[in-house]
């Protein structure tokens, strides 16, 4: 399959390789210092062992001395006392000479250096996963032109912008579909551009050439009997297109649906979408953080296995008792600060068998997709941790509610739950 | 697939393994490694021949049970069980086998096409039958095994 073969190669800028090379050099130095320190610690341990032997000698001398004293051999006792004194002095000076605190300090310092290097390696590896944004934009153009032969698609200078492979893979189709839907209504002149700013990738589409005006959005919503809140600026009007209850069957319903699909795909990558209408062109601006590879996660246990929730989607954790759960329309619901929150059973939704009945923990992780909230019952909480997102093998492409995996400290695999998909599946 | 470039030297290098009392073999070039069975993380929504996912040096690799895929007698993994990690060029995946025997070289002449009779293993997955002394080896085609797995999952 193309998906699995195409994924295995990445072009790497030689500077990135140099960066990684330098870091591996630093790592080797840290390793050498660690083995030095270990040597020093071994010597220190041997010295302490020597002191322990001295202490044992002192003890037996002390015993002997006690006997002598009881037997009244004063002269002998004096000698033994002197020997004891010497031994105790030796032990005391040995203990005071101990440099275990210095060694510990060095160890601490070295661990700090190691942490910095491993952070740098993560950054460089993240950078090496980046692919040119131009590639994604060309693929969007190809898809758009294949659908609308009259479309005039220009890929603007993007100043060598780059983005994570996961973004390119996750957004290319939805971006193209939004482009096609927009060009149906807003004209055939499509401009695509990309830029990197502050660790984000900005992808901009602008579609013009037609007779579309933002007022159409307001009119069509009004005709469908929907009140539109908000002001009258082009930006506010265009934002109405992302309304979840946008009326179906109007001339701009498809456009709204495709833009919402794009917004959801962007949200899944922790990004956001803004719409506007500027001098005759409808514009769509996507902003997505570049650092997708490493995320903070909440590890939970479900059916004896560890699963990870992206922490960015976790609102809170609540503890419920059986009496707190109500059935509304056959769905379990809990009352959370006077609001009803639907509760999903991971067994029913994702197919993970969890503890039931008496064994239920009552722990609920409240997750959000940015709009809706839902509670997921879990068997237990393991804790917060930083995880590296790994893509799943192609064999698992059809699994719903799970969008990646991560490797835990013990080398085992934990699946990453997809909050947006779980919320969608629960609907 | 046969490396016939060297004419008379066209021998197959195979890794032999046991599965449900029969001896199988697969092209050594398709075997990335043989490992002990680690903890396998189950993946939901999958048919029962999909055992789950494991970590091989930072990559997530899928693991399958061919006994279940091809309806062979079931058996729990034991100390002899191994994972055969196969790389078909496109896909990387592992299958659990009862035990791994030695690597052998087999002359291309000693390989017969799979017979028309009904066999346990799906015929499409069998590249041929190899004769090694008194041993009969069922030679699998790793790529076809992957296709059969994908069909079983509902991807193909």
CA distance A241 to A238: 6
Point out the residue among A4, A5, A413 whose CB comes nearest to the CB of B60.
A413
Q: Name the average pLDDT for chain A.
A: 82
- Selected for mutation to probe chain B from A1, A353, A395 (highest B CB count within 10 Å) is A395
Identify the residue with better confidence: A355 or B42. Answer: B42
Q: If you average pLDDT over residues A152-164, what whole number do you get?
A: 81
How much is the pLDDT for B7? 42
Point out the residue among A394, A401, A407 whose CB comes nearest to the CB of B55.
A407
- In DSSP terms, B16 is beta-bridged to B25
Query: Is pLDDT above 50 for A191?
Result: yes
B71, B69, B100, B88: which is closest to B127 by C-alpha? B88
CA distance A288 to A71: 89
To 10 degrees, what angle do helices A14-71 and A100-128 make? 160
pTM assigned to the model: 0.57
Contact status, residue A395 vs residue A3, Cβ threshold 8 Å: no
Query: Which run of H or of E encompasses B106?
Result: strand B99-107
**β B22-27/B135-140 pair status:** parallel
**Which residues of B fall within a CB distance of 8 Å from A414?**
41
SS3 category, A412:
coil
At residue A5 the predicted structure's pLDDT band, cuts being 50, 70 and 90, is very low
Instruction: Specify which of A159-163, A245-249, A285-289 reaches the highest per-range mean pLDDT.
Output: A285-289
Domain boundaries, chain A: 14-128, 131-289, 294-426
CA distance A427 to A176: 27
Q: Do B44 and A351 touch (CB under 8 A)?
A: yes
Q: Do B43 and A407 touch (CB under 8 A)?
A: no
Q: Do A393 and B53 touch (CB under 8 A)?
A: yes
Q: Do A1 and B91 touch (CB under 8 A)?
A: yes
Instruction: Specify which of A71-80, A207-216, B49-58 reaches the highest per-range mean pLDDT.
Output: B49-58
Point out the residue among A1, A352, A392 whose CB comes nearest to the CB of B44.
A352
Per-residue pLDDT tens over the stretch A193-220: 998 876 678 899 999 888 888 888 888 8
A-side interface with B, Cβ within 8 Å? 1, 4-5, 305, 350-352, 390-402, 405, 407, 411-415
How much is the pLDDT for B8? 41
| A307: Cα within 13 Å, side-chain hemisphere | 27
Q: If you average pLDDT over residues A106-122, what whole number do you get?
A: 78
Point out the residue among A351, A399, A405 whose CB comes nearest to the CB of B60.
A405
Nearest CA in chain A to B63: A395
Contact status, residue A335 vs residue A325, Cβ threshold 8 Å: no
Per-residue pLDDT tens over the stretch B12-47: 899 999 999 999 999 999 999 999 999 999 999 999
CATH class of A131-289: alpha beta
Q: How close is the nearest chain A Cα to the Cα of B50, in Å?
A: 9
**Which residues of A fall within a CB distance of 8 Å from B41?**
305, 405, 412-415
Q: Do B54 and A413 touch (CB under 8 A)?
A: yes
At residue B145 the predicted structure's pLDDT band, cuts being 50, 70 and 90, is very high
Nearest CA in chain A to B148: A395
Per-residue pLDDT tens over the stretch A306-335: 999 998 889 999 988 777 777 777 778 888
Per-residue pLDDT tens over the stretch A381-390: 999 888 888 8
**Which residues of B fall within a CB distance of 8 Å from A390?**
58-60
Q: Looking at B108-140, which runs of residues are DSSP E strands?
A: 111-112, 126-132, 135-140
Which pair of tokens denotes residue A381? 């909480």
Which pair of tokens denotes residue A362? 């009552």
**CA B86 from centre of chain:** 7
Cα–Cα distances in Å, from B52 out to A24, A112, B148?
33, 37, 17
Q: Quick one: what percent of chain B has pLDDT higher than 70?
A: 91
How many CB pairs lie under 8 A apart between chains A and B?
75
Q: Do B55 and A413 touch (CB under 8 A)?
A: yes
Contact status, residue A192 vs residue A156, Cβ threshold 8 Å: yes
A400, A395, A302: which is closest to A352 by C-alpha? A302
* CATH for the A294-426 domain, from 2.120.10.30, 2.160.10.10, 2.30.30.40, 3.40.605.10: 2.30.30.40
**Which residues of A fall within a CB distance of 8 Å from B154?**
398
Q: Do A395 and B150 touch (CB under 8 A)?
A: yes
Q: How close is the nearest chain B Cα to the Cα of A404, in Å?
A: 9
Point out the residue among A351, A401, A405 whose CB comes nearest to the CB of B53.
A405
CA distance A354 to A313: 21
**Which residues of B fall within a CB distance of 8 Å from A398?**
45, 153-155
Nearest CA in chain B to A400: B45
A98, A88, A82, A95: which is closest to A55 by C-alpha? A88
Q: How close is the nearest chain A Cα to the Cα of B26, in Å?
A: 21
Point out the residue among B52, B92, B155 whose CB comes nearest to the CB of A397.
B155
CA distance A275 to A19: 38
Lowest-pLDDT range of A75-79, A316-320, A408-412: A75-79
B141, B131, B13, B145: which is closest to B67 by C-alpha? B145
Contact status, residue A189 vs residue A207, Cβ threshold 8 Å: yes
Fold of B31-153: OB fold (Dihydrolipoamide Acetyltransferase, E2P) (2.40.50)
Cα–Cα distances in Å, from A143 out to A6, A140, A153, A161, B139?
18, 5, 11, 21, 43
**Which residues of B fall within a CB distance of 8 Å from A407?**
55, 58, 60
Point out the residue among B58, B89, B149 whose CB comes nearest to the CB of A395.
B149
Query: Is pLDDT above 80 for B124?
Result: yes
Q: Do B50 and A394 touch (CB under 8 A)?
A: no
Cα–Cα distances in Å, from A335 out to A87, A112, A381?
72, 45, 21
CA distance A73 to A68: 5
Lowest-pLDDT range of A47-61, A158-172, B54-68, B91-105: A158-172
How much is the pLDDT for A91? 83
């Amino acid at each position: 399959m193309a998906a699995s073969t195409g994924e295995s190669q990445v072009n790497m800028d030689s500077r990135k390789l140099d960066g990684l090379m330098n870091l591996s050099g630093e790592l080797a130095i840290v390793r050498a210092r660690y083995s030095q320190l270990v040597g020093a610690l071994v010597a220190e341990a041997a010295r302490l062992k020597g002191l322990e032997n001295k202490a044992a000698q002192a003890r037996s001398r002390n015993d002997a001395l006690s006997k002598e004293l009881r037997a009244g051999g004063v002269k002998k006792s004096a000698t033994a006392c002197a020997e004891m004194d010497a031994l105790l002095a030796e032990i005391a000076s040995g203990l005071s000479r101990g440099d275990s605190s210095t060694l510990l300090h060095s160890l601490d310092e070295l661990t700090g250096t190691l942490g910095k290097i491993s952070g740098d390696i993560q950054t460089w590896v993240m950078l090496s996963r980046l692919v040119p944004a131009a590639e994604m934009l060309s693929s969007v153009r190809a898809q758009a032109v294949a659908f609308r032969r009259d479309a005039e698609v220009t890929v603007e200078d993007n100043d060598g912008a780059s983005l994570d492979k996961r973004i390119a893979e996750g957004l290319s189709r939805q971006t193209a579909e939004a482009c096609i839907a927009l060009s149906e209504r807003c004209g055939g002149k499509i401009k695509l551009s990309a830029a990197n700013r502050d660790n984000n990738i900005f992808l901009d589409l602008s579609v013009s050439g037609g007779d579309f005006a933002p007022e159409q959005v307001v009119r069509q919503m009004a005709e469908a009997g929907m009140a539109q809140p908000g002001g009258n600026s082009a930006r506010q009007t265009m934002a109405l297109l992302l309304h979840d209850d946008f009326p179906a069957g109007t001339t701009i319903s498809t456009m709204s649906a495709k833009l919402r699909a794009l917004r959801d795909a962007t949200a899944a990558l922790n990004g956001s979408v803004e719409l506007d209408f500027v001098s005759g062109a409808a514009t769509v601006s996507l902003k997505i953080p570049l650092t997708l590879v490493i995320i903070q996660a909440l590890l939970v246990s479900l059916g004896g296995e560890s699963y990870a929730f992206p922490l960015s989607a976790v609102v809170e954790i609540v503890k419920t008792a059986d009496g707190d759960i109500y059935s509304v329309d056959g769905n379990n619901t809990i009352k959370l600060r006077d609001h009803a929150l639907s509760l999903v059973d991971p067994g029913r939704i994702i197919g993970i068998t969890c503890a039931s009945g008496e064994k239920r923990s009552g722990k609920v992780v409240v997750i959000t997709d940015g709009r809706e909230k839902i509670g997921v019952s879990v068997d237990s909480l393991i804790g917060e941790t930083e995880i590296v997102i790994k893509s799943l093998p192609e064999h698992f492409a059809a699994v719903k509610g799970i969008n990646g995996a991560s490797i835990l400290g013990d080398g085992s695999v934990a699946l990453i739950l997809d909050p947006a998909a779980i919320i969608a599946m629960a609907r | 697939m046969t490396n016939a470039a060297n004419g008379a030297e066209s021998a197959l290098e195979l890794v032999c393994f046991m599965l449900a009392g029969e001896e199988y073999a697969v092209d050594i070039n398709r075997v990335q490694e043989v490992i002990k069975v680690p903890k396998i993380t189950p993946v939901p929504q999958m048919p029962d021949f999909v055992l789950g996912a494991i970590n091989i040096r930072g990559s997530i690799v899928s693991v399958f049970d061919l006994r279940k895929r091809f309806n062979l007698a079931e058996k729990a993994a034991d100390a002899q069980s191994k994972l055969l990690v196969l790389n078909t060029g496109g896909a990387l995946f592992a299958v659990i086998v009862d035990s791994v025997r030695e690597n052998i070289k087999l002359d291309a002449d000693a390989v017969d096409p799979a017979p028309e009779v009904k066999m346990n293993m799906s015929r499409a997955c069998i590249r041929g039958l190899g004769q090694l002394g008194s041993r009969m080896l069922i030679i699998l085609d790793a790529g076809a095994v992957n296709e059969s797995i994908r069909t079983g999952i509902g991807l193909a």
